[in-house]
Structure 1
Amino acid sequence: MNSVRARLLSTLAGQLGNPHGVLGKGVAFVLNRSNRAAITGAVAAACLAPGGAAADVGFGGGAGLPLLLDRVGAGGVVYGVEISPDMLARARASHRGDLDAGRLRLLEGSLTALPLPDDSLDAAITVNTVYFVPDLAAACAELARVVRPGGRLVIGIGDPGAMAKLPFTSYGFTLRPVPDVIAALEQAGCAVEHRRLAGTPIPHHLLVATPR
């Protein structure tokens, strides 16, 4: 029984990091529902103006894409960067009009290899993704690379203590103390503001970083 439970939890953890296949469709729905408050908070913290350029890195089920599109308006552009081909296909099917208009651009990539030029964004958000990155410093440096000086990079993470109590996070998650993530952002050349987000199923932290 324990081995069956371990396999189920390991499968779930793997899907959360890279949703795919039939199970991935259900995971996408769950991600959108459970992460919506944190994503909404991250989008608000990004302080985007109409006409801006923004990215949701590791957008998963895609809940952040329409929120960013609303913020940048008709004259702006949103980049959705995702490691999962299935989630990219899902987003393409949901946003054909925005893609045809050039307002949304969907790209395959990861936190440590973003397919974007230096200083190309006014803001970037990534929510509940850094658990799956072995090299946190490289991820923060890459995110800071693509956001212009004075722009905003917002990382949303679940409280490590609360996340550790979930049964699946011992399978492939790296739950780092919040100060470690802040230190990695500062090492990447950012000034960091730490905010706590209320009203989420799991307590969340928003790290609002400004590249210098």
Structure 2
Amino acid sequence: MLSPQQRAAQLRHPHGGAALAVAESMNRSNGALNQAAIALLAVGAHQTVLEIGPGNAAFAGDLLRAPGSRYLGIEVSEAMVDAAQERLALAGLQARARVERGDVHALALEDACVDAALAVNTLYFRDDLGAPLAELARVLRPGGRLCLAFVDVAFMRTLPFAAHDVHLHGLAEVELALHSAGLRVCGWRDHREHATGNDGGVVDKHFHLLLAHR
């Protein structure tokens, strides 16, 4: 059992013996949120999709349903890159998908090379949203779209790990940061779930999904 501080550190940068278990736990707990974000992003045929912080790329296959689509994941954790590449190979997706180690602050990508981009539950580990959103805007083609999925601030404050170097970004703040990066917000979804917490009680989970166009 990880302490709240240890869990925050693993969520920020999965590492060591706990990395794979944490990734699988997040895949289970965030499965419905990821599916909602994927549906909102709506990757089309022959489009290239970029995912920031994909972990072990558990949802890459869902992003590649459209024929001819291609996938790139950018992940800070070497352990997750290795796990993702293994998962993609086992799924037979290595010809259309890959995960590379990198950071959203400095993407090793050409300008206007991506049709769609996705980031689920990654904003909390960024103090300033300006630089990463500007990078995402840079690599999006004109008309390209970005979907951000993130926890509502009030709900985040109820999570024990949020007290450990986790940055809270409200809906209005994220919308403003997108606008400042040159992106136009064109869709919003309020995503709520009821789940069983570690203490056996019911937890009301609350997330926001924003869709923006370049």
For residues 133-182 of structure 1, give each alpha carbon's deviation from its aligned partner in whole angstroms, at most 9, with x where no partner exists.
12211111111111112111001001111011111111011011111011
Report the Cα distance in structure 2 between the residues aligned to 1:84 and 1:167, rounded to whole angstroms.
23
- Name the structure 1 match of 2:212: 209
- Name the structure 2 match of 1:45: 40
Per the TM alignment, residue 105 of structure 1 is displaced from its structure 2 partner at its CA by 2.1
- Name the structure 2 match of 1:173: 166
For residues 76-121 of structure 1, give each alpha carbon's deviation from its aligned partner in whole angstroms, at most 9, with x where no partner exists.
210011010000100111111322x2x0122111221222211111
Q: Give SS of 1:169's match.
A: helix
Structure 1: 5+ residue runs without aligned partners? none
For residues 12-55 of structure 1, give each alpha carbon's deviation from its aligned partner in whole angstroms, at most 9, with x where no partner exists.
10001111121111100111011111111111111211111101
Contact 1:155 1:207 in 2 (8 A): yes
Q: Give SS of 1:59's match.
A: coil
Q: Give SS of 2:20's match.
A: helix
Per the TM alignment, residue 200 of structure 1 is displaced from its structure 2 partner at its CA by 6.3
Name which of 193, 196, 199 aligns with 1:199. Answer: 193
Report the Cα distance in structure 2 between the residues aligned to 1:198 and 1:11, rounded to whole angstroms.
26
**Runs of 4+ off more than 4 Å:** none
- Name the structure 2 match of 1:133: 126
The normalised TM-score by structure 1 is 0.90
Report the Cα distance in structure 2 between the residues aligned to 1:156 and 1:189, rounded to whole angstroms.
19
* 1:1-212 alignment, distance < 5 Å: 8-70=3-65, 72-73=66-67, 75-96=68-89, 97-99=92-94, 101=95, 103-192=96-185, 193-199=187-193, 201=195, 202-211=205-214
Q: Give SS of 2:3's match.
A: helix
CA RMSD of aligned residues (A): 1.6
Per the TM alignment, residue 8 of structure 1 is displaced from its structure 2 partner at its CA by 2.2
Task: Give the AA of the match of 1:155.
Answer: L
Task: Give the AA of the match of 1:196.
Answer: D
Report the Cα distance in structure 2 between the residues aligned to 1:85 and 1:185, rounded to whole angstroms.
29
Q: Give SS of 2:5's match.
A: helix
Contact 2:121 2:150 in 1 (8 A): yes
Report the Cα distance in structure 1 between the residues aligned to 2:102 and 2:141, rounded to whole angstroms.
19
Report the Cα distance in structure 1 between the residues aligned to 2:119 and 2:44, rounded to whole angstroms.
18
Contact 2:115 2:140 in 1 (8 A): yes
Contact 1:107 1:115 in 2 (8 A): no
Task: Give the AA of the match of 1:208.
Answer: L
Per the TM alignment, residue 61 of structure 1 is displaced from its structure 2 partner at its CA by 3.5
Contact 2:57 2:87 in 1 (8 A): no
Report the Cα distance in structure 2 between the residues aligned to 1:200 and 1:155, rounded to whole angstroms.
21
Task: Give the AA of the match of 1:46.
Answer: L
Task: Give the AA of the match of 1:163.
Answer: M
30-39 or 191-200, which deviates more? 191-200
Report the Cα distance in structure 2 between the residues aligned to 1:111 and 1:31, rounded to whole angstroms.
20
The normalised TM-score by structure 2 is 0.89
State the identity as a percent. Answer: 37
Task: Give the AA of the match of 2:8.
Answer: A
More helix by share: 1
